[in-house]
Amino acid sequence: MSLLKANSVQIGQSATATQNFTLSVPSSPDGTIKLARGNSGATTQDVLTINSSGVVSFPNNSAAYSPNPFFFHKSANQTVTSSTTTKCTFDSTLFNVNSRITLASSTFTPTLAGYYNISAQIHAVNGGSGAGAAIAIYKNGSATNGIHGIVAVNGASSSSTTMVMVNGIMNFNGSTDTFEIYGNTYATSWQTGSGTANQAIANLTYATFVQGFYLGA
């Protein structure tokens, strides 16, 4: 049902509906168009504005419409047991826009409900001749709900390097859902960078990391 008002078109079941939107076309010279959540005239709840030049902005609730990119990495190398599935530790933040992801004990909690694109990489060294590595994103502590990445096999050198990456889209409820990064490698050390590794670009600062961004609800 649409209800015409002085300078607006109201879209929703009623003027008090929780998700009622009002498209306001003011008579002011700048020709700004506003999409507001709430009753007609609720300018403090504007969620979208289109100015006379066609530029779209989100004056309030902008975090909900931002990609909210994040990037976490390790501050120290991690010693692991060969051929054993192990959680990868992260303790440093390069960026985390709008604090969209919280980090506790290498467990990540998205704070905004919706879909996220997540990718992670583990940099394993000294895995032995022909050794391999695997990586996965676990959801809520479970591999069953996770995404498995590429299984990589390194070269012939006993000190060769294996880098494995996983990428996928996951949905989170914005409160209790979590994700973690797990790996299984022949190597016994996962490195922060690649300065000491063979068969890798030298002096990489971020070789073991997790990154991503918000796609939307």
The domain that contains 90 carries what CATH number?
2.60.120.40
* Same domain, yes or no: 149 and 74: yes
Q: Does residue 147 sit within a domain? A: yes
Q: Does residue 74 sit within a domain? A: yes
* Same domain, yes or no: 44 and 130: no
More confident residue, 36 or 202: 202
> Among positive and negative, which fits the CA dihedral 5, 10, 12, 14?
negative
* Same domain, yes or no: 19 and 120: no
pLDDT of residue 2: 42
The structural domain count of the chain equals: 2
**Among 97, 120, 122, residue whose Cα is nearest residue 110:** 97
* Same domain, yes or no: 168 and 207: yes
Q: What is the pLDDT of residues 81-118, one digit of tens each?
A: 988 999 999 999 999 999 999 999 999 999 999 999 99
Range of the domain at 150: 70-216
What rounded mean pLDDT belongs to the chain? 78
How many alpha carbons fall within 13 Å on the CB side of residue 204?
A: 20
* Same domain, yes or no: 83 and 126: yes
Q: Does residue 65 sit within a domain? A: no
Model confidence band, residue 151 (pLDDT cutoffs 50, 70, 90): confident
* Same domain, yes or no: 121 and 55: no
Q: What is the DSSP string of 48-83?
A: EEE-TT--EE-SSSGGGGS---EEEE-SS-EE--TT
